[in-house]
A and B are shown apart, each in its own frame.
Chain A
Amino acid sequence: MAIAEQRTASQATQGSSDESWHGIVLQTLKRNEISLIPYVPDRVLTPLIKNLHADPFFTTFATAREEEAVGIISGAWMGGRRGAVLMQTSGFATLANVLASLAVPYQIPLIMFVSERGTLGEFNYGQSLVCRTMRPVLDSLALEHHTITRLDELEFIADRSIKQAVTTQAPVALILNPLLTGGKTFDK
């Protein structure tokens, strides 16, 4: 608690309180030497993906499926390079097999950022049902996961979760809630 307050105070004095969620995610990845970023696109993640592409520190690319991205990150970890996967809730729903047969049993620190669809104003019934499958899957595999709703908690949760994933060699899912990102609005 004290550490969190201290951090919030120091962020404020550094004038970083106006930082965007995607700027904080990018800097947290960089600080933890996570340079390989395969993703499957999502409207809400667009500014993060765009800025990752623009920064030569990162190798950022689209994959055809989320499980393909998990395979790539797993191979990269074993080869000595850190990565993270970006996806949408519906993409996470395709991952149960690869989590249970690769990431968990081989003890691979798979870092997942999941843009949360299907809640807080969702307009697509399919998306809302898919979203409800996510946490039961994570819980059934005893996987660490955090839902991030507040900008002032983002850096702490993301940074500590990444460090925990690496040191305990276990996957983690960081769920980016619409309260943090604004979510997708009902325009098209």
Chain B
Amino acid sequence: MDNRNTKVMNRFDVTSRLIAKLKHEEAVIGGIGNTNFDLWAAGHRPQNFYMLGSMGLAFPIALGVALAQPDRRVFALEGDGSLLMQLGALSTIATLKPKNLIMIVMDNGIYQITGAQPTPAASVADIVAIAAGSGLANSAWAADEEDFERLVDGAMSASEPSLIAVRIDDKPGVGTTRRDPVQIRERFMHGLGVREPL
């Protein structure tokens, strides 16, 4: 929407900027589809979790990690179409107020991976307004790449959950996640210090 006054950025570039900032083994949950592919392409980390289905659950999964490990910062990457599937999760998170949870929404208004069909809310719904209305006061659109990095820095030390929305273009994801769910989960649990490697 034009009234957002935000630059249209690129998901892989924004994801890479986020990963470059992580210094404390922060967890990152990638939603299904392109957020996942770009998270993979930005450089595999044991603290990354890659979803292979269950569209819309990146934020709930990240909430679970955040509640289990309150001293670790937990990021979740979600698309606008996926978020629309599970808007109620925003109000659950706002109620619980996990200060270590940071939600990032990549908004291009389309279901890119299925053929770029517009979402039912394309160019009408304002994700930051929805998040704020759900009770997540610390929600903002990133105006440009530098603003995105500034918002991430702020979220890293925030005392409440944060949501950062980014307008992105329609470029496809750069990588392709390997699709072995048990291996993904085991590596993630190793990365979180829950499991010892075999």
A64 with B91: in contact, given A72-B60, A75-B29, A81-B68 (CB under 8 Å)? Answer: yes
| Residues 51-71 of B at the A interface (beta carbon under 8 Å) | 51-57, 59-69
A80 with B192: in contact, given A71-B61, A97-B53 (CB under 8 Å)? Answer: yes
Q: Are B92 and A68 interface neighbours, CB within 8 A?
A: yes
Whether a CB of chain A sits under 8 angstroms from the CB of B121 is no
B92 partner, pick from A64, A100, A102, beta carbons under 8 A: A64
Q: Are A78 and B53 interface neighbours, CB within 8 A?
A: no
A106 with B182: in contact, given A63-B92, A68-B60, A76-B64 (CB under 8 Å)? Answer: yes
Closest CB of chain A to B63's CB: distance in Å?
Answer: 5
Interface flags for B120-158 (1: CB within 8 Å of A; 0: not) read 000000000000000000000000000000000000000
Interface flags for A64-91 (1: CB within 8 Å of B; 0: not) read 1101111111111111110100000000
B68 partner, pick from A62, A63, A64, A79, beta carbons under 8 A: A79
Q: Are B67 and A76 interface neighbours, CB within 8 A?
A: yes
Q: Are A83 and B54 interface neighbours, CB within 8 A?
A: no
Q: Are A72 and B61 interface neighbours, CB within 8 A?
A: yes
A107 to B88 Cα, complex, angstroms: 26
Q: Chain A contacts of B174 at CB under 8 A?
A: none
**Interface residues on chain A, size class:** 20 to 34
Closest CB of chain A to B60's CB: distance in Å?
Answer: 3
Whether a CB of chain B sits under 8 angstroms from the CB of A101 is yes
Interface flags for B69-97 (1: CB within 8 Å of A; 0: not) read 10010000000000000111101100110
Q: Are B64 and A72 interface neighbours, CB within 8 A?
A: yes
Which of B106-114, B160-168, B183-191 sits within the interface?
A: B183-191
Q: Are B88 and A65 interface neighbours, CB within 8 A?
A: yes
Q: Chain B contacts of A70 at CB under 8 A?
A: 57, 60
Closest CB of chain A to B20's CB: distance in Å?
Answer: 24
Q: Chain A contacts of B193 at CB under 8 A?
A: 80
Whether a CB of chain B sits under 8 angstroms from the CB of A10 is no
Whether a CB of chain B sits under 8 angstroms from the CB of A61 is yes
A83 with B185: in contact, given A98-B57, A101-B54, A102-B53 (CB under 8 Å)? Answer: no
A78 with B188: in contact, given A73-B64, A98-B57 (CB under 8 Å)? Answer: yes
Residue among A36, A69, A72, A77 with most chain B CB within 10 A: A72
Q: Are B184 and A106 interface neighbours, CB within 8 A?
A: yes
Whether a CB of chain B sits under 8 angstroms from the CB of A126 is no
Q: Chain A contacts of B95 at CB under 8 A?
A: 61
A67 to B85 Cα, complex, angstroms: 11
A63 partner, pick from B62, B65, B88, beta carbons under 8 A: B88
Residue among A59, A97, A101 with most chain B CB within 10 A: A101
Closest CB of chain B to A108's CB: distance in Å?
Answer: 7
15 additional A-B residue pairs with CB within 8 Å, beyond A36-B67, A64-B87: A61-B95, A64-B92, A65-B86, A67-B56, A71-B57, A71-B60, A72-B63, A72-B64, A75-B61, A75-B68, A79-B69, A80-B69, A81-B68, A98-B54, A105-B53
